[in-house]
Amino acid sequence: MKKLLFLPLVLALAAATAQNTPIHLIPQPVEIQQLTGSFALTKATTIGFDNPAGQTVADMLAQKLNAPTGFALKPQRALKSSIQLNLNSTPNEKLGKEGYTLDAGPKGVVLTANQPAGLFYGMQTLLQLLPKEIESKTPVQANWSIPAVKITDYPRFGWRGIMLDVSRHFFSKEDVKKYIDEIARLKYNTFHWHLTDDNGWRIEIKSLPKLTSVGAWRVARAGRFGERADPKPGEPTTYGGFYTHDDIREVVRYAQERNVTIVPEIDVPGHSMAALAAYPELSCTKNPDTKVNPGTHFADWYGNGTFKMNIENTLNPSDEKVYEFLDKVFTEVAALFPNPYIHVGGDECYKGYWKEDPGCQALMKKLNIRHVEDLQGYFMNRVEGILKAKGKKLLGWDEILEGGISPEATVMSWRGTKGGIEAAQMGHDVVMTPTTFAYLDYTQGDPTVDPPIYAHLRCKKSYSFEPVPDGVDPKYILGGQGNLWTEQVPTLRYAEYMTYPRAWALSEVYWSPKEKKNWEDFVQRMETHFARADAAGINYSRAIYDAIVRTSMKDGKLWLEMEAEVPGLDIYYSTDETMPDDHSAKYSAPVELPEGPITLRVVTYRNGKPIGHLITLSREQLEQRAGR
Ligand code: ACM
C-alpha cells in the first residue's frame, strides 16, 4: 500500500528529472529551445531522406545508431519517417551551405538543411543529444532517448580548421582518418595536412621518387626534439613513412564524406631538409651529406623570433631547377586535392645561406633588390605562378607578406594576429591561427606536469579567442584553425591529448555566435564531453583541473599566487614536506612563501574529492618562475 502511495511521487520525480536533463552540445548552436518530453529510439524507428543527396548522411546516421543499440535501422527514401532528413528545395537563406534545423519531439526528429553538409552537422548534433553510450562500437544497454528540442544552427565562419603536422612524426592513413572523423564531429570543415618539413617528406611524388624513398625516412631517435644525436654515417633510416597517391585519394574521399576539405601543405622554401636529403642539389651549398633530421639541435633560437640554421634547410631561389622541381611537385599535389588552396608554407625561412651564395647575389642584382628578405618575395611569386597555372590559390604563413605577395594570396596569421591584421588591411583573405590562442602543441597544464614544449596555452585562453580583431573588416577573415605541431607528439593517442579539450573550445570560437560565448557554461558542457570522449576512446587533457601556480619576487621575498581555470575548485598546498590534502592550507589570497629550501606542493579538490594533478615545485623552480 505504502509503495503504491509513493508511486505518483516517484513518477513525478522521474518526469522532472527527464525534463531537466541538460543538453550539452559543443559547439553551442545559434538557437536552442528545450521542450518537454523526448523521442525514444527503438528497433521500430524509421530513418528516411526526401532527396537522394541525403542518403550518405542517412546511412552514416544508421550506422552510428545501429552499432551501440544493436538495432538494424535501414534508411529509406521517404517523407514521414521517425527520423526524417530533408533537403530544402528552396534554400533557407539563414542556414547557408552548412546550417540545419533540428526538431525533436515525442513523435520523432526532423533534420532540415539546404545541402548535405547541413544534414551532416544536424546528425552530429543529434548524436550529441543521445546518451554517451552512443559512442560504443558494440551493443550496450542505455536509455536511447532524444530530448525534445528545437534548434536552428549555422556557422559563424566558413573556414574552421585543424592542422596536423605529419612530418615530425608520421601518422598512418588510419590515424589521419580517425583524427578527421573526430574533428568533423565538432563541425570543423578543414583539415590542414602539414605534409613536408625537415623531419620527413610524406607525400609520394611519382616524378621525384627520392622524395619518399629517401626523404620519408630518418634514423630512429628517442628523447626531446632539438636535443637528439646526429645521424651517424651509414646509420639505417628506419623511422618514418609516407602516403601513396592511393592513400591520399582514400583520405580525401573519407574527408569529403564528412564535409571536410583537405588543404595540403608543402612547406617551402624553408623547412625543406627532408627534400634536400633527397635532392641536395636544390640548396645553395648542395651538401651531399644532408640527412632527414631526427630532431637534433639544428637551429639556434634567439628568443625574439630570429634564429640561425646550423644545417641548411632552404631551397635555392636563384636556381631554375628549383622551380622545375616545384612544378613537378605541385602538378601532382594539385591533381590529388580538390581544394582550391595549396598551402606553400613560407614560414621561418633562414636566409643566411642565400646571403653567401653567388647565384642569389647575382639574382638580387638582376632584380635590383637590396635585401635578401626580398628574395623570398621573388620565390613566393614564382610559386604562386606555378599554382595559378594549375588552377590553385596560394595560401601561406604570415611571413609571405614580408617579401611582397600578390593581393590574391591568402595569409595564415600565426605570429599573433599582427600578420593577419596587416594582411586584411592590405585586402588579403586571412585565416587566423595565432600561437597565443590556437597552438595545440603548447602545454595546457603546468609545465612540471605536462611534458614541456616551447610555450604554454590554457584551454580558457583558447576559448577567449576573438578571430576578428578590432578595426578589421570581417569580410577578410575567412575563419581560423587550431594547429598541432608534432615535434613531441609521436602517437595519435597523444595527438588527441594535445588537441582536446582546446579544439572543443576553438570549435565554439569558429562556429558559435560570439555573443553566446560563456566560459562557465562551456566548462559544464566540456565535462559532459569528457565522459563522451571516454566512451568513444578519445584521449584528452584534464589540465583544467590543475591549479595555475604563479610566483613573484617582492623586496627579496617570494610570493605565491594561484587560481583555478574552472569554477568551484578548492586549492590546498603545503610547504612543509608533507603531501597536501583538504586539511592542508587552503589558498585564498597571495601568500609570502617561507625562506629556505622549501618545496611547494599543490592539489585541487572539488566537493571534498581530489581532482587534478599534484604540482610539486622546488624553491629553485619557484624562483625561476618568478623571473618569467
Ligand atoms: C609555424 O608555426 N612555423 C607556422
**Residues with Cβ within 8 Å of residue 568, at least 6 apart in sequence:** 606, 607
CB 317 within 8 A of CB 354: yes
List the grid coordinates of 426: 592590405
Residues 320-344, mean pLDDT to the nearest whole number: 98
CA distance 144 to 139: 12
List the grid coordinates of 531: 565522459
Ligand 1 probe mutation, 485, 486, 487, 489, most atoms within 8 A of CB: 485
Q: What is the pLDDT of residues 506-549, one digit of tens each?
A: 999 999 999 999 999 999 999 999 999 999 999 999 999 999 99
What DSSP state is assigned to residue 443? B
**Residues with Cβ within 8 Å of residue 520, at least 6 apart in sequence:** 567
Core vs surface per residue 37-60: b (16+ CB within 10 A) or e? bbbebeeebebbbbeeebbbbbeb
Helix (H/G/I), strand (E/B), else coil: 63:
helix
CA of residue 438 to ligand 1 center, whole Å: 11
Percent share of the chain, pLDDT over 90: 94
Which atom number of ligand 1 is nearest to the Cα of residue 485?
Answer: 2
Other CB atoms within 10 A of residue 471 CB: 8
CB 431 within 8 A of CB 452: no
Strand extents, DSSP E, 195-272: 196-197, 200-201, 217-218, 239-240, 261-268
Task: Match 593517442 to its residue by C-alpha cell.
Answer: 493
pLDDT above 80 for 19: no
The pLDDT, as a whole number, for residue 1 is 40
Task: Match 573588416 to its residue by C-alpha cell.
Answer: 473
CA of residue 110 to ligand 1 center, whole Å: 43
Q: What is the pLDDT of residues 572-622, one digit of tens each?
A: 999 999 999 999 999 999 999 999 999 999 999 999 999 999 999 999 999
CA distance 58 to 110: 12
CA of residue 191 to ligand 1 center, whole Å: 16
CA of residue 109 to ligand 1 center, whole Å: 44
Residues 306-322, mean pLDDT to the nearest whole number: 96
CB 255 within 8 A of CB 187: no
pLDDT above 90 for 11: no
The pLDDT, as a whole number, for residue 12 is 46
Ligand 1 probe mutation, 199, 348, 484, most atoms within 8 A of CB: 348
Which atom number of ligand 1 is nearest to the Cα of residue 412?
Answer: 4
The pLDDT, as a whole number, for residue 7 is 47
Q: Which residue has the higher pLDDT, 496 or 13?
A: 496
Q: What is the pLDDT of residues 443-487, one digit of tens each?
A: 999 999 999 898 999 999 999 999 999 999 999 999 999 999 999
CA of residue 282 to ligand 1 center, whole Å: 22
Query: What domains does the chain contain, in order, with CATH numbers?
Result: 14-153 (3.30.379.10), 159-543 (3.20.20.80), 546-626 (2.60.40)
Which atom number of ligand 1 is nearest to the Cα of residue 439?
Answer: 2
- Please give the model's pTM, rounded to 2 decimal places: 0.96
Active-site positions read: 197, 271, 348
Q: What is the pLDDT of residues 244-253, one digit of tens each?
A: 999 999 999 9
The pLDDT, as a whole number, for residue 303 is 80
Nearest residue to 218 (alpha-carbon basis) of 277, 260, 266: 277
CA distance 208 to 245: 13
Nearest residue to 251 (alpha-carbon basis) of 193, 157, 177, 165: 177
pLDDT above 80 for 17: no
Atom 1 in ligand 1: which residue has the minimum CA distance?
347
CA distance 499 to 476: 27
Which atom number of ligand 1 is nearest to the Cα of residue 414?
Answer: 4
Q: What is the pLDDT of residues 92-150, one digit of tens each?
A: 999 999 999 999 999 999 999 999 999 999 999 999 999 999 999 999 999 999 999 99
The pLDDT, as a whole number, for residue 2 is 45
**Ligand 1 neighbours (beta carbon < 6 A):** 347-348, 397, 414
The pLDDT, as a whole number, for residue 307 is 92
The pLDDT, as a whole number, for residue 58 is 98
Confidence of residue 304 (pLDDT cuts 50, 70, 90): confident
Atom 3 in ligand 1: which residue has the minimum CA distance?
347
Confidence of residue 627 (pLDDT cuts 50, 70, 90): confident
